[in-house]
Amino acid sequence: TLRAIIFDVDGTLAETEELHRRAFNDCFAAQGLGWHWDQHRYRELLRVTGGKERIAHDLADRGIDPAAHDIPALHRAKTERYTALMAGGEIALRPGIAALIASARAGGLRLAIATTTSRPNIDALIRATMGRDASEVFDVIAAGDEVAAKKPAPDVYLLALRRLGLPAAHAVALEDSLNGLLSARAAGLRCVVSPATYTRGDAFPDDCPLVADFTDISTPAALEMLLREP
Ligand code: XBP
Ligand code: MG
């Protein structure tokens, strides 16, 4: 039986990647670096999870020595910019997410987050979209800055399961990306994927349950039904 739902954040709870991209670009500009990531480039760079890792990869890819830049400081500025932009209120939860959270809660399921992004960004998103503390909405939050290896490694999902005190068989992961799906599956979890703007068109394994959005699985019963389908 299903006892917990573990949510990815970026692309799953909300379409946040354009705000991340804006925050990165604003910081690059503010520091006079002359770097800019357009949508095409950002789609490529999303294969590398984690903001600091993404910046380092981009620099190396362009023949710039990542060690020549203070990437942690640059990324701290990006997080500050992102949380400020998030407070502007342009971002909404994806369709079906609020209903699923409410019905899962009413049905006694536990709710968790397993994400690559860092804690301030989660807090800013839940505050801006739900007007509440993330820790009030979710029983467990496992963030990228708490684990050694980010998705597609299983670490962040294993951390969420450990904090839930549940075996993987009693939980399901909701994701939008292949890296997320691989991470969840490596932790032994079942996973339902709803592609987002930056992950639509990606190739997902044939046996992966796909939904256009979360409105069709906005109750635990509907979610369990989908998981039972052959
Ligand atoms: C999304 C990511 C993150 C964000 C940026 O992962 O890969 O790196 O793009 O956030 P998920 P940070 O969907 O698992 O949340 O800059 O804070 O890393
Ligand atoms: Mg995601």
10 is catalytic: yes
Question: For residues 25 and 92, is the Cβ–Cβ distance under 8 A?
Answer: no
Structural domain total, the chain: 2
- d(CA 183, CA 176) in angstroms, rounded, equals 12
Q: What is the CATH number of the domain that holds 25?
A: 1.10.150.240
Question: Using DSSP, how many helices (H) and how many strands (E) does the chain show?
Answer: 10, 5
109 lies in the same domain as 154: yes
53 lies in the same domain as 133: no
Question: For residues 114 and 80, is the Cβ–Cβ distance under 8 A?
Answer: no
Domain boundary among 87, 122, 144: 87
In three-state secondary structure terms, 171 is strand
47 lies in the same domain as 137: no
Residue of 6, 7, 10 with the most ligand 1 atoms within 8 Å of its CB, for mutation: 10
215 lies in the same domain as 113: yes
In three-state secondary structure terms, 47 is coil
- Name the residue type at position 125: L
Q: Which residues pair with 192 in a beta bridge?
A: 174
Examine residue 72 and say whether the peptide bond preceding it is cis (omega within 30 degrees of 0): no
Residue of 54, 57, 83, 189 with the most ligand 1 atoms within 8 Å of its CB, for mutation: 54
Structure tokens at 78: 């990006």
Alpha helix segments (H runs only) across the chain: 17-30, 39-45, 51-61, 71-87, 97-106, 119-130, 134-137, 155-164, 178-186, 220-228
Domain boundary among 58, 87, 116: 87
Phi-psi label, residue 154: left if phi above 0, alpha if psi -120 to 50, beta otherwise: alpha
CA of 122 to the centre of ligand 2 (A): 12
- Segments forming the whole domain that contains residue 79: 17-87
Lining ligand 1 with CB less than 6 A are: 8-11, 17, 20, 49-51, 115-118, 121, 144, 151, 180
Q: Any idea what DSSP says for residue 94?
A: P
Q: How would you write the pLDDT of the chain (230 residues) with one tens digit per residue? A: 899 999 999 999 999 999 999 999 999 999 999 999 999 999 999 999 999 999 999 999 999 999 999 999 999 999 999 999 999 999 999 999 999 999 999 999 999 999 999 999 999 999 999 999 999 999 999 999 999 999 999 999 999 999 999 999 999 999 999 999 999 999 999 999 999 999 998 999 999 999 999 999 999 999 999 999 87
Q: Which atom of ligand 1 is nearest to the CA of 175?
A: 13
- d(CA 168, CA 227) in angstroms, rounded, equals 14
In three-state secondary structure terms, 114 is strand
- Name the residue type at position 130: M
Task: Residue 208: count other Cβ atoms within 10 Å of its Cβ.
Answer: 15
